[in-house]
Structure 1
Amino acid sequence: MDLVAPVVVEPLKRRRCSECRQGPLERVIVEFNAFVCLDCADLGHLVFLRRGDTALTRRAREGSALWAVVVRHNRRRTRYERQGLLVEESALRRAEAACLADAEARARRRARDAERRAGRDAEITAALEAEILRLFPSCPSDRAAEIAGHASAKGSGRVGRTAAGRSLDRGAVTAAVRAAVRHVDTEYDRLLMTGVPRHQARTRVAPAIEAVLRAWRTD
């Protein structure tokens, strides 16, 4: 049977309990559009575990007969985001002891995982650099390395981290090179800083970009 954990809200404005009138409250349950404190909701005996330690969170949740998810509304992103869990204090103590006992082993595993990820990232960057030089054989090698490193930076969301970029799609690779040329070899950034709208600035620097790309395409 699937478990459905209670959801506890950290309100942006402190509220009072609709049953016992206690407040202002740091955390509440919302029932029938009314705010209820954790004591009245039978969750007052639980303790808060802030998100961040994956192993501790997993173990505390698995060891707690009753637990709840704590969320808070992010106005900028217009969504609720998880802040942590409410778990039984005894379950949290057991989880902390278990994490302390195997902390060294987990640290070694994290180090191995980080090394493997770094190796994969280096392979992605090297493959992208090689493809840039294949498509643009006259591109200076240091520029190709710089473009590849920038476009494939982990967590950047740039072309090199997309599926098209990792598969070395010709259009994606060319887009990464064009973007680099736009910022480094044209007056595009200066135009933006002087108030020129982005689409107008792109139109004005397009001929200069194409001139550089044509030169780099020549073997």
Structure 2
Amino acid sequence: MKLLVVEDHPALRDLLLRHLQRSGFVVDVAEHGREAVAMLALSRYDAMLLDLGLPDMGGLSVLAARSSTRNADLPCIILTACDALEQRIAGLDAGADDYLLKPFEMAELEARLRAVLRRPGPRAERRLQLGNLSFCLESREAYVGPQPLLLSKREMALLEELLRCAPRVVIKDQLEERLYALSEAVTPNAIEALVSRLRRKLVDAGADSSIETLRGLGYRLASGAS
């Protein structure tokens, strides 16, 4: 899953980035509101963590601008040091899904993220499955039958994207957008190498699904029965 973190405090922004990356998320970060709006127009995200006190525009203005981007229905958790009831109500009325008061524990942040991602909508599934291959969205663990499938974080993210779309084709450019942060340099063959590693691990683990390459287009995960 890919997150957008909008936070102007450097130490907290870096802490969020490192923690969420360790938890298996792909993370883009923005320091300013206008930068965040540009990112919302450029890339598709699964959730946004939004500080209200940004230096160039208020977080509520970012929420309002969200509706005219490709992330119009993006779940949002507001992060703020202000405990004023009026501000909390304004944020929720503006379309935020939850509110987290600074300082907070990372464990609570992750729990709230899981909660908003479970709400009705395209991200409401708890487990993705195709044949004997499954992926638990909460624990971010993959299995072939009852056996855990040991994957790197990037391989796990690739498997999730393929399972979400299976048996439809996932365009290569879309995979690159979803699996890498905007700040990361991506080599021309990065996706091919990643797909090759995951394909080999699926075969070695006895998965009855395989990754098919559609040259010039992308990839799809197909069950042995298809």
Q: Same fold (TM over 0.5)?
A: no
Question: Could you say which structure has the higher strand fraction?
Answer: 2
Between structure 1 and structure 2, the one with the greater Rg is: 1
TM-score range, shorter chain: under 0.3
Task: Choose between structure 1 and 2 for higher RCO, CA contacts under 8 A separated by at least 6 residues.
Answer: 2
